[in-house]
Amino acid sequence: MQLRAIRPGEAERFAEHVFDAFDEQPPAEELTLVAAMLEPERCLVAEEDGAWVATAGASTRELTLPGGATAPCLAVAFVTTLPTHRRRGLLRALLGRLHDAAPEPVAALWPSEGAIYGRFGYGPAAWRARLTVDTARVAFRDDAPPAAAVRLARRAADAAGELARVHEAQRRLVPGVLDRPAAVWARRLADLPARRGDAGPLRAALLEDGSGYALFAVGGEITPHGAEGIARVTELVAHAPEARAALWRFLCSLDLVRTVEWPLAPVDEPLPHLLRDPRAVRSQPSDALWVAALDVPRALAARRYAAPVDVVLDAGGERVRLRAGRDGDAECVRADRPPDVRLDREALGSVLLGGTPLHVLAAAGRARGELGPLARALRTDRAPWPAEQF
């Protein structure tokens, strides 16, 4: 068995292998788009007699942390093992090589199965909400921000430059959001017929003042009982209350649309509080982005803190002293005195973005000690948002 990085000419073969391992058969255009995103030196395969039996890949991204800070992030994806080669340690070997070679202090991934990645130090750090909006019941409160001028791009790709500018200007406002290189944008906005299902083209609604946008496609049908259209939202970026309300007013007033669905909404989405009937919105939360601290001192020092703290923390056997002042800036160094707080590495990944309160882990027996000062320091004004699946 040989573990190696793929060669530049093997990018499309790597993409095809990954899709095949998940029993998917994408069109050739999708393979090309994925191959363009790959960093060959960070795409690993386990090779046996010339056949690839396991894979793991990563890309170089930047992750927003609490307080508007950012950190280089190892974005892990493309993890597969053929059924014939499971329980041989291939996943541990591939992830270990990616982690050991990574200069980034943190890593992140979207797990296909929840029971796999905790043993590698990953914990659920940013949760998503699957929103379903019944537009027939939508009536905005009298004190909700008013409508605003919206421009519709009937092909989202036509507005790619403007969308990227808005995203870049706002991505540091919410923890959990990643930067977005050009190749990632290209795949995100590619409107391939094979992806659509019963929906129409991917469109973009842009606020004229440049303060936000929504990506969506409309599907559904007209039945003997009336229109049953569904607007499927891919992304909504607008952090000012007025901009967010304006985009929701637009989406909820689309002709023939009776349902608006958004599977990757933030768990603190304010839409229900804009409506006279909050029950017009159903929300189903689930874990999404999992995070691991590859370098504990650097990971803890990279974010900002909501309150002063001076604590010695034992994270899965690694002991560090974390100090943060009133300005939120922190330093973290290795320590040798007894810890004030103990938690495992998976739990550290869960609290790093502020998405899992420390008291929740304590109630599960996953955090112990004098938790109050650290819990107050870890609080965030906004829940982390896993804006995209990678």
> Predicted confidence band at 193 (pLDDT cuts at 50, 70, 90)?
confident
Distance CA(127)–CA(62), nearest Å, equals 19
Query: Is the pLDDT assigned to residue 224 strictly greater than 70?
Result: no
Task: Provide CB contacts within 8 A for 116, sequence distance 6+.
Answer: 91
Active-site residue identified among 14, 78, 117, 216: 117
Q: What is the pLDDT of residues 254-304, one digit of tens each?
A: 999 999 999 999 999 999 999 999 999 999 999 999 999 999 999 999 999
2-104 shares its CATH topology with 139-276: yes
Q: Are residues 317 and 162 in contact, defined by beta-carbon separation less than 8 angstroms?
A: no
Catalytic, 22? Answer no
Quote the percentage of the chain above a pLDDT of 70.
98
CATH match of 2-104 with 3.40.50.12780: no
- pTM of the predicted model as reported, rounded to 2 decimal places: 0.94
Q: Beta partners for 3?
A: 46
Domains of the chain, by residue range, sit at 2-104, 139-276, 296-345+364-378
Task: Provide CB contacts within 8 A for 298, sequence distance 6+.
Answer: 71, 105, 332
Catalytic, 213? Answer no
Q: What is the pLDDT of residues 305-327, one digit of tens each?
A: 999 999 999 999 999 999 999 99
Active-site residue identified among 122, 213, 250, 390: 390
Architecture field, domain 296-345+364-378: 2-Layer Sandwich (3.30)
Predicted pLDDT at 223: 64
CATH number of 139-276: 3.40.630.30
